[in-house]
């Protein structure tokens, strides 16, 4: 995968380039991580099953340490 950072430095994006071996079981085609603020980030994932993309989106938040 080839990675690049957005101009504002808040997003790192990875794109599939090539694979050694086969892709008969699928492959990770794209991933993107975005820092929203010090306590939040999001992730976008695309996994390819043959020619069918499977997308996932995750919003994450830092857990509050005060219990």
Tens-digit pLDDT profile for residues 2-33: 999 999 999 999 999 998 888 888 999 999 99
**Residue ranges covered by each domain of the chain:** 2-61
Mean pLDDT for all residues in the chain: 93
- Give the residue from 42, 17, 12 showing the smallest Cα distance to 28: 17
Q: What is this structure's pTM?
A: 0.84
Neighbours of 15 (CB within 10 A): 13
Question: Residues with Cβ < 8 Å from 56, sequence gap 6 or more?
Answer: 43, 44, 45, 46, 47
Residues of the chain above pLDDT 70, percent: 96
Structure tokens of 46?
Answer: 């695309």
């Amino acid at each position: 995968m080839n990675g690049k950072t957005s101009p504002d430095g808040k997003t790192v994006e990875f794109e599939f380039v090539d694979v050694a071996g086969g892709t008969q079981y699928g492959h990770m085609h794209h991933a993107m991580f975005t820092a929203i603020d010090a306590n939040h980030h999001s992730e976008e994932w695309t996994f390819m099953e043959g020619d069918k993309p499977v997308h996932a989106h995750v919003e994450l938040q830092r857990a509050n340490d005060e219990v």
